[in-house]
Amino acid sequence: MIDCDKKQICENCSEHFQLLRPQITEVIISSHFKKDLPNFNTDLVLDCQHEHFTRLHKFEEKIENNHIFRALYNKTHIVYAIQENKIIFLRAFDNFKEYEKFLSDKKRIIEMLNQF
Closest of 105, 5, 102, 19 to residue 57, by C-alpha: 19
Q: 109: domain CATH number?
A: 3.30.2310
Q: What is the DSSP letter of 62?
A: E
Please indicate, yes or no, if residue 4 is contained in any of the structural domains: no
Q: Is the pLDDT of residue 91 over 80?
A: yes
Please indicate, yes or no, if residue 3 is contained in any of the structural domains: no
Could you list the residue range(s) of the whole structural domain that residue 50 is in? 15-114
Q: Is the pLDDT of residue 2 over 50?
A: no
Residues above pLDDT 70, as percent of the chain? 82
Please indicate, yes or no, if residue 109 is contained in any of the structural domains: yes
Q: CA–CA separation, 104 vs 106, rounded Å?
A: 6
Please indicate, yes or no, if residue 23 is contained in any of the structural domains: yes
Question: What average pLDDT does this structure show over 34-55?
Answer: 80
Please indicate, yes or no, if residue 61 is contained in any of the structural domains: yes
Q: Is the pLDDT of residue 26 over 60?
A: yes
**Count of the separate structural domains present in the chain:** 1
Please indicate, yes or no, if residue 1 is contained in any of the structural domains: no
Please indicate, yes or no, if residue 79 is contained in any of the structural domains: yes
14 CB burial (10 A radius; 0-12, 13-18, 19+): middle
Question: What average pLDDT does this structure show over 15-44?
Answer: 88
